Every structure is written in C-alpha cells, then in structure tokens.
Amino acid sequence: MNIRENIRIAVFSIRTNLMRSLLTMLGIIIGVASVIAIVTVGNGGRDYIVGMIRDMGSSAISLTVNANYADDDDYFTDEDIAAIKRLDGVQYASMQSITMCQMSANDKTGFLMGIGCNTDMQMLMQTPLQYGRFFTEEEYNEGKNVGVIDVGSALQLFGKRNVVGEYVYCTSNDLTISVKIVGVVDIMSSMNLDTEEMMSSMGSMMGNMQMTSCMLLMPASVTATINGTSANRYDMLQITAYDEAMLDGIGEAAINYVRSLHDNYEKDCYAVTNMATYIDLLDTVINVFTIFIAAVSAISLVVGGIGVMNIMLVSITERTREISIRKALGAKTGTIMFQFLTESIILCLIGGVIGLLLGVAGAALVSYIMKVPLFVEPSTILLAVGFSSAIGIIFGVYPAKRAANLPPIEALRRD
C-alpha cells in the first residue's frame, strides 16, 4: 500500500468518527495554540521592549561618580566634558544634573523635576522639538534662566502644547527664579509612549487627587542655582559614540582621561554603565522566560499525545476484523504498522494546524491589546508542524506495532 492510499484511509477513518477525532485532537490543539501564542507574543514583546530601549539611546554610556569614595575635586566639570568630547569616537557628551523643587505657573503649583544639561542633550535624546528651540551655547555659557519643557507638563500647566514664551517659577531654599520656556519636546515619545494617553492613565489612577508636575531641561548652572550647590560639579555624564561597538573602549578611555585630569587613580570613585550591555541581558532574560513558559505549556501536548495513543488503541480494537482480513490476504506487518502510524500522524497534524491558527489569532489579539508588534516567524510554523508530527510518531508507534502484531486467527475468532 502506498502513502497516498494510507492517507486516504486515515482521512476516511477520522471523518467516520469525527466527534471522537476532534475530542482526541483537543489536547494537541490546546498545546500547540498555547506554545505558538506564547512564543509569538514573547518575541513581539521582546522586540518592542528592546527596540524601545534602543530608541532611547543604546549607543550611549553613562559615567557616574560614587559619592561614598569621591571628594569635591573628583566630580566631573565642564572642562572634563570638553576634554571627553575631543576623544576619538565620541559623538556627544552632556552632564545630567537633577533637581527637585516646588514650582508655579499659570496659577498652578506643583513639583518640578529639572534636568541640568548642555546643548548636546538635544541630540542625546534623539527626539525632535515640537515647538520653539533648544537653548543655545551662548545661553548655556551665560547661565540664562531658559528651559525646554516636556509636552505633558505643558498640557498640565497651560492646557496647550505650544507654550513657548511662558514662564515657570521655581522655588527652593527661599529662592525663586523664573525660567522662560524656549522650546517644547515630547520626552515620552523617546520611550515610544503617548503623552496624552499616559496623562489620561495617570489621571484615572490618581482619581480625584490633584497633582501637577513639570519637567524642564535647563542649563546645568540653573539647576545648580536651584539646588544651592556649586556650579561646574556634576555626578553623571552621558556619552554617545559614532559606533556602538566602540562604547566599551570609549567608556574606559573617558574614565582614564578623567582620572588623569583629576590625578585620582588610587580612588575607585567612577563607574561606567553601557546601555547596550543591559539590552543584551534583557534580551536573554526575556528569551529564557518565554522558552520556560512555552515548555510548561507544552506539557498539554504530552497529555494530547496520550489521548491519541488511547484512541488509536480503541480504533485497533474496533477494526480487528479489517486488520485480520488484510493480514490473511498477505499484508505485511510493516504495511499494517505504517497504515496506523500514518493515521496517528495525520490526526496530530490536523490538530497542529488548528492549534497554529488559534495560536496566531490569540497572539494577534494579545498584541493588539498590549500594542506590541506581531510577527509570526517561519520557525514558529515549523515548530507547530514539528511538534505535531513528533507527537503523532511517538504516541502512534505502540498502537501501530500492536495492530501489526495482531494474530489473524485470534482476531477472527474474537470478532
């Protein structure tokens, strides 16, 4: 008997006992659908998260000062930044000086998070301005009280996006300074988030509580004035490179250069953080987690395989007369075995295809709700087909051998 004939008989047998066959496939369908959905959503979520971090600046490193080991003279200065920018491979470099204080604007009060930086921060953010401009090198050098506001803060304070020319009043240590807004930037978009949607979600979570906050990018000297600290002393720098592969080398070169400028080689007061390292680590963690969850879900495939074995044994019992007649007419043991093995594989493959379709549909629904990209890799389809075939072979061998070894005389007598 050829393969085509075996497939015809297998399909006829499945159609004859359609409800029983569907119930038998159920374990395979659930198992394959679960694995496909988890792997597809996991891959989409991984690509989304990793891509979001890359968009935030994967070609960046952070240099930080450990306050536990550093003296005042060990902190980064404007001269250090200028020297670092002259190193080969360095594209942009800026300090990040954070300040928190009270603020008021447009008859509203709240909290301000000010980020002190230089003009390179505009390029480090990789986010274009929506309105206005970034502060200039001249304004930075003169310590002008100007700033670039986040669009979410603009909406909270003024109820509109374009707030160029408005003022925010920052108060700290009994000192109030007015900061003129010269530009508006959507910082949330650099993290692939929607500003208005985030504000709406935060408003829902806060309920009736009224909380106003403001985020401003300002010259570092302005945040130093607000903090009441010395200007030209920074505990964090961010550097980007022309080539991501050069990041580690540039980080070490920058730290060594700073140590030579400050003559503090004996102190372990500086640290380098490479964002790309965390991206690779996150990618690995998400992959391992996805594989683990998929492996747990695949247990249902084993349960489905046991169901296939059980129904094949029942089928052999019901078809004892057919097997006996064929063997009496000269059918070889291998032919009988191959017939039932083909039926087992066909049964599992049909369940696998149905599971694949349900898994992709489920993944598409979850991806739509979570707003992550959906991409069904060819390897995922091969995974479904391979799993289904493997289950059909593994759990179909024993019933097929039992049918092939059935003695014709005893079978005819029993029937």
Q: What is the block-wise mean pLDDT of the chain (415 residues), using blocks of 10 residues?
A: 73 79 81 83 75 61 86 89 90 89 90 91 84 93 92 89 94 89 80 48 43 84 84 86 80 88 86 74 76 74 79 76 72 77 83 87 84 77 76 76 69 54
CB under 8 A, 24+ apart: contacts of 173-178: 173/228, 175/225, 175/226, 175/228, 177/145, 177/222, 177/225, 177/226, 178/145
Nearest 5°: the CA angle 318, 320, 322 is: 105
- Give residue 375's Cα distance to chain centre: 13
* Per-residue pLDDT at 408: 64
Q: Are the C-beta atoms of residues 127 and 181 closer than 8 Å to each other?
A: no
Beta carbons within 8 Å of 196's beta carbon, 6+ residues apart: 152, 155
Beta carbons within 8 Å of 268's beta carbon, 6+ residues apart: 66, 69
Residue 219, amino acid:
P
Scanning 228-298, the segments in alpha helix (DSSP H) are 247-262, 275-297
* Per-residue pLDDT at 275: 67
Q: Quote the CA–CA distance of 39 and 35 in Å, as a whole number.
A: 6
Q: Quote the CA–CA distance of 378 and 20 in Å, as a whole number.
A: 31
Strand-pair partners of 241: 90
pTM: 0.57
First to last CA, the chain: 24
Task: Name which of 383, 388, 394 is nearest 294 in CA terms.
Answer: 383
Q: Quote the CA–CA distance of 114 and 223 in Å, as a whole number.
A: 7
